[in-house]
């Protein structure tokens, strides 16, 4: 039995991913209570929030802007309270897809070819062929994701993606198998493969139970598994990650991994992939939450 702690779970918040965050936070709070902890739930949708008296550690169950981009981390650093997950700088880097790409390139981590656009009137770039993917630079959970299969679709897709941020990342669309790798402590968990039953692994398929088939551990040969995990850990280290994250990796038909992005506060709902990866090595949901708390408390000492 873990020592009883006074824990505040921060959930909800002001981002486009508020609903998912409420689900993540509710599940986390329930699990921590089942372990005997005193748990407060705090929704920082208003700026003037304050932590419950006696809070020893904050469990961040926020997603998207404010929660995942380093903002709340900086506020908690000022309060001197330990919190789960990456620090403010790594959160800022991980949330910004362009900065993550730059860090991966510097560190020699394989990632897809890319460009950044900030104008709705930008024309199709020279030297590129479709298909490409457009992603708002600072949004999570596939919010605003656009697939461009023909040059004729470019302008409408760019305008749509720019609704969600002032910058849009264009990436070559990698054809292959879609995987994700959970990181816990400094170790890569078993590789998870996701296969949407229809369409792509977008916001809808991500959060609709039963819409996506999940295989864990993913069926690759040992050498390919090793390469996928190494790429994921490389990206995690490149942004200065700590405690835990989830790294999305495409795998080309020849087995080469291509890192897409690092999720510094991955979902912890019943359909989420990090808990599935942990379960594959015998760590149940409540134990996973406890380990995340323990990693944060280690810094307090």
83 catalytic, yes or no?
no
The tens digit of pLDDT for each residue in 111-127 reads 999 999 999 999 999 99
First-to-final CA distance of the chain: 21
Tokens linked to 169: 């990342």
Q: Which of 177, 241, 248, 272 is catalytic?
A: 248
Indicate the helix (H) or strand (E) that contains 80.
none
The tens digit of pLDDT for each residue in 178-234 reads 999 999 998 999 999 999 887 666 656 566 777 789 999 999 999 999 999 999 999
Among candidate residues 67, 69, 131, the one with its CA nearest the CA of residue 99: 69
Residue 292 has pLDDT above 70, yes or no: yes
19 catalytic, yes or no?
no
In order of start, what are the domains of the chain with their CATH numbers? 6-84+288-298 (3.40.50.20), 93-110+176-283 (3.30.470.20), 114-172 (3.30.1490.20)
248 catalytic, yes or no?
yes
Among candidate residues 279, 227, 265, 281, the one with its CA nearest the CA of residue 86: 265
The tens digit of pLDDT for each residue in 237-246 reads 999 999 999 9
Q: Which of 207, 234, 244, 245 is catalytic?
A: 207
71-79 vs 88-95: helix axis angle to the nearest 10?
Answer: 180
Q: Is 81 buried (19+), middle (13-18) or exposed (0-12) by CB count in 10 A?
A: middle
Q: Which of 13, 15, 17, 64 is catalytic?
A: 17
Among candidate residues 299, 284, 289, 301, the one with its CA nearest the CA of residue 2: 289
66 catalytic, yes or no?
no
199 catalytic, yes or no?
no
Residue 235 has pLDDT above 90, yes or no: yes
Q: Detail the DSSP E strand segments found in 137-289.
A: 146-148, 168-172, 177-184, 187-196, 212-215, 244-251, 257-263
Residue 271 has pLDDT above 90, yes or no: no
């Amino acid at each position: 039995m873990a020592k009883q702690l006074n824990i505040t779970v921060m959930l909800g918040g002001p981002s486009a991913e508020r609903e998912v965050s409420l689900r993540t936070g509710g599940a986390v709070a329930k699990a921590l209570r089942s372990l005997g902890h005193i748990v407060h739930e705090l929704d920082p949708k208003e700026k003037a929030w304050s932590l419950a008296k006696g809070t020893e550690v904050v469990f961040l169950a926020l997603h998207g802007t404010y929660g995942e981009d380093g903002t709340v981390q900086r506020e908690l650093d000022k309060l001197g309270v330990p919190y789960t997950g990456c620090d403010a700088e790594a959160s800022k880097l991980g949330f910004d897809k362009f900065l993550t790409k730059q860090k991966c390139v510097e560190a020699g981590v394989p990632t897809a070819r890319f460009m950044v656009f900030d104008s709705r009137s930008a024309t199709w770039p020279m030297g590129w062929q479709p298909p490409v993917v457009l992603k708002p630079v600072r949004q999570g959970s596939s919010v605003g994701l656009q697939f461009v299969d023909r040059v004729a679709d470019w302008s409408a897709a760019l305008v749509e993606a720019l609704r969600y941020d002032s910058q849009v990342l264009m990436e070559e669309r990698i054809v292959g198998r879609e995987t994700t790798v959970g990181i816990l402590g400094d170790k890569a968990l078993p590789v998870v493969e996701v296969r949407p039953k229809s369409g792509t692994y977008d916001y809808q398929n991500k959060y609709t139970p039963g819409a996506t088939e999940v295989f864990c551990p993913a069926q690759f040969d040992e050498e390919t598994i090793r390469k996928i995990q190494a790429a994921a850990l490389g990206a995690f280290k490149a942004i200065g990650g700590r405690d835990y994250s989830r790294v999305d990796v495409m795998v080309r038909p020849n087995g080469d991994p291509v890192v897409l992005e690092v999720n510094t506060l991955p979902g912890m709902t019943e359909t989420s992939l990090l808990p599935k990866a942990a379960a594959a090595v015998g760590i149940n949901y409540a134990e996973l939450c406890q380990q995340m708390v323990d990693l944060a408390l280690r810094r307090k000492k």
